[in-house]
Chains A and B, each alone.
Chain A
Amino acid sequence: MRTNSRNFYLIPYVLWIALFVVAPLLLVLYYSFFDIEGHFTLENYRKFFTPVYLKMTLSSFWYAFLITLFSLLIAYPTAFLLTKTKHKQLWLLLIILPSWINLLLKAYAFLGIFGTYGAANSFLDVMGIGGRQILFTDFSFIFVSVYIFLPFMILPIFNSLDELNPTLLDASNDLGGSSWVTFKRVIFPLTLDGVKAGCQIVFIPALSLFMLTRLIAGNRVITLGTAIEQHFLVTQDWGMGSTIAVFLIIAMVFIMVLTGRRKRGIL
Chain B
Amino acid sequence: MKKLIQALAAVLIVSFVLLYIVSGLNSSQGYTSGNTLTIFNWGDYIDADLVDKFEQETGIKVIYETFDSNEAMMTKIEQGGTAYDIAVPSEYAIEKMKEEDLLLPVDHSKIPNLKYIDQRFMDLPFDPGNEYSIPYFWGTVGILYNTDILGDKKIKSWHDLWDPELKNQILLIDGAREVMGMGLNSLHYSLNDKNKDHLIEAKEKLDSLTPNIKAIVGDEIRMLMENDEAGIGVVWSGTAQELMWEKDNLEYVLPEEGSNLWFDNMVIPKTAKNPEAAHQFMNFILDPENAAQNTEYVGYSTPNKEAMKYMDEETISDERFYPDEEMTGRLEVYENLGKRMLAYYNELFLEFKMHKK
Partner-B contacts on A (CB < 8 A):
5, 8, 36-37, 52, 55-56, 59, 111, 115-117, 133, 135-136, 214-215, 217-220, 222, 227, 230-231, 233-237, 240
Contacts of A52 in B (CB 8 A): 347, 350-351, 354
- Taken together as a complex, chains A and B put the C-alpha atoms of A222 and B352 apart, in Å, by 11
Question: In the complex the two chains form, is A236's CB within 8 Å of B71's CB?
Answer: yes
- Determine which of A115, A136, A235 lies in contact with B343 in the assembled complex, contact meaning CB atoms within 8 Å: A235
- Determine which of A5, A116, A214 lies in contact with B218 in the assembled complex, contact meaning CB atoms within 8 Å: A214
- Determine which of B176, B229, B343 lies in contact with A116 in the assembled complex, contact meaning CB atoms within 8 Å: B229
Chain B 343-357: CB-based contact to A (< 8 A → 1; otherwise 0): 100110011011001
- Residues 305-357 of B at the A interface (beta carbon under 8 Å): 339-340, 342-343, 346-347, 350-351, 353-354, 357
- Taken together as a complex, chains A and B put the C-alpha atoms of A225 and B306 apart, in Å, by 48
- Taken together as a complex, chains A and B put the C-alpha atoms of A222 and B174 apart, in Å, by 13
- Taken together as a complex, chains A and B put the C-alpha atoms of A220 and B347 apart, in Å, by 16
Q: Verify if B228 is at the interface (C-beta below 8 Å from A).
A: yes
Chain A minimum-CB-distance residue to B342? A235
- Determine which of A36, A55, A218, A235 lies in contact with B216 in the assembled complex, contact meaning CB atoms within 8 Å: A218
Given contacts A52-B351, A133-B214, 12 further A-B pairs with CB under 8 A are A37-B339, A37-B340, A56-B354, A59-B354, A111-B220, A111-B224, A115-B224, A117-B229, A220-B216, A233-B69, A234-B71, A237-B339
Question: In the complex the two chains form, is A214's CB within 8 Å of B217's CB?
Answer: yes
**Given A52-B347, A234-B176, do A115 and B354 touch, yes or no (CB 8 Å)?**
no
- With both chains docked as a complex, state the minimum distance between the C-beta of B196 and any C-beta of chain A, in angstroms: 16
- Residues 207-259 of B at the A interface (beta carbon under 8 Å): 214-218, 220, 223-224, 227-229
What are 29 residue pairs bridging A and B, where the CB atoms are less than 8 Å apart in the complex? A5-B1, A8-B1, A36-B340, A36-B343, A37-B339, A52-B350, A59-B354, A111-B220, A111-B223, A117-B227, A136-B215, A214-B174, A215-B217, A217-B215, A218-B171, A218-B215, A218-B216, A219-B216, A220-B215, A220-B357, A222-B353, A227-B350, A230-B346, A233-B71, A233-B72, A234-B71, A235-B342, A235-B346, A237-B339
Contacts of A236 in B (CB 8 A): 71, 339
Contacts of B218 in A (CB 8 A): 214
**Given A5-B1, A55-B354, A115-B227, do A218 and B214 touch, yes or no (CB 8 Å)?**
yes
Chain A minimum-CB-distance residue to B171? A218
- Taken together as a complex, chains A and B put the C-alpha atoms of A178 and B214 apart, in Å, by 51
Enumerate the 7 nearest inter-chain pairs by beta-carbon distance, A residue then B residue, closest first: A218-B215, A219-B216, A136-B215, A235-B346, A36-B339, A222-B354, A235-B343
- With both chains docked as a complex, state the minimum distance between the C-beta of A63 and any C-beta of chain B, in angstroms: 13
Chain B minimum-CB-distance residue to A232? B71
Q: Verify if B283 is at the interface (C-beta below 8 Å from A).
A: no
- Taken together as a complex, chains A and B put the C-alpha atoms of A218 and B228 apart, in Å, by 16
Contacts of B171 in A (CB 8 A): 218
- Taken together as a complex, chains A and B put the C-alpha atoms of A235 and B354 apart, in Å, by 17
Chain B 65-78: CB-based contact to A (< 8 A → 1; otherwise 0): 00001011000000
* Interface of B: prevailing SS: helix
- With both chains docked as a complex, state the minimum distance between the C-beta of B342 and any C-beta of chain A, in angstroms: 6
Chain B minimum-CB-distance residue to A5? B1
Partner-A contacts on B (CB < 8 A):
1, 4, 69, 71-72, 168, 171, 174, 176, 214-218, 220, 223-224, 227-229, 339-340, 342-343, 346-347, 350-351, 353-354, 357
- Determine which of B71, B215, B350 lies in contact with A222 in the assembled complex, contact meaning CB atoms within 8 Å: B350
- Taken together as a complex, chains A and B put the C-alpha atoms of A35 and B42 apart, in Å, by 31
Chain B minimum-CB-distance residue to A36? B339
Contacts of A235 in B (CB 8 A): 342-343, 346
Chain A minimum-CB-distance residue to B168? A133
- With both chains docked as a complex, state the minimum distance between the C-beta of A200 and any C-beta of chain B, in angstroms: 27
- Determine which of A59, A116, A215 lies in contact with B220 in the assembled complex, contact meaning CB atoms within 8 Å: A215
- Taken together as a complex, chains A and B put the C-alpha atoms of A134 and B252 apart, in Å, by 27
Contacts of A215 in B (CB 8 A): 217, 220
Contacts of B216 in A (CB 8 A): 214, 218-220
- Taken together as a complex, chains A and B put the C-alpha atoms of A135 and B227 apart, in Å, by 13
- With both chains docked as a complex, state the minimum distance between the C-beta of A6 and any C-beta of chain B, in angstroms: 11
**Given A36-B343, A233-B69, A236-B71, do A219 and B1 touch, yes or no (CB 8 Å)?**
no
Contacts of B347 in A (CB 8 A): 52
Chain A minimum-CB-distance residue to B177? A234
Contacts of A240 in B (CB 8 A): 343
Interface centre among A217, A218, A230 (most CB of B within 10 A): A218
- Taken together as a complex, chains A and B put the C-alpha atoms of A78 and B233 apart, in Å, by 42
Contacts of B214 in A (CB 8 A): 133, 136, 218
- With both chains docked as a complex, state the minimum distance between the C-beta of A26 and any C-beta of chain B, in angstroms: 21
Contacts of B351 in A (CB 8 A): 52
- With both chains docked as a complex, state the minimum distance between the C-beta of A130 and any C-beta of chain B, in angstroms: 16
- Taken together as a complex, chains A and B put the C-alpha atoms of A95 and B229 apart, in Å, by 31
- Taken together as a complex, chains A and B put the C-alpha atoms of A266 and B347 apart, in Å, by 53
Contacts of B71 in A (CB 8 A): 233-234, 236
- Taken together as a complex, chains A and B put the C-alpha atoms of A207 and B218 apart, in Å, by 22
- Taken together as a complex, chains A and B put the C-alpha atoms of A217 and B1 apart, in Å, by 55
- Determine which of B223, B340, B346, B354 lies in contact with A234 in the assembled complex, contact meaning CB atoms within 8 Å: B346
- With both chains docked as a complex, state the minimum distance between the C-beta of B337 and any C-beta of chain A, in angstroms: 11
- Taken together as a complex, chains A and B put the C-alpha atoms of A68 and B172 apart, in Å, by 30
- Taken together as a complex, chains A and B put the C-alpha atoms of A59 and B351 apart, in Å, by 13
Contacts of A233 in B (CB 8 A): 69, 71-72
Contacts of A217 in B (CB 8 A): 215
Contacts of A218 in B (CB 8 A): 171, 214-217
Contacts of B168 in A (CB 8 A): 133
Question: In the complex the two chains form, is A237's CB within 8 Å of B228's CB?
Answer: no
Question: In the complex the two chains form, is A219's CB within 8 Å of B346's CB?
Answer: no
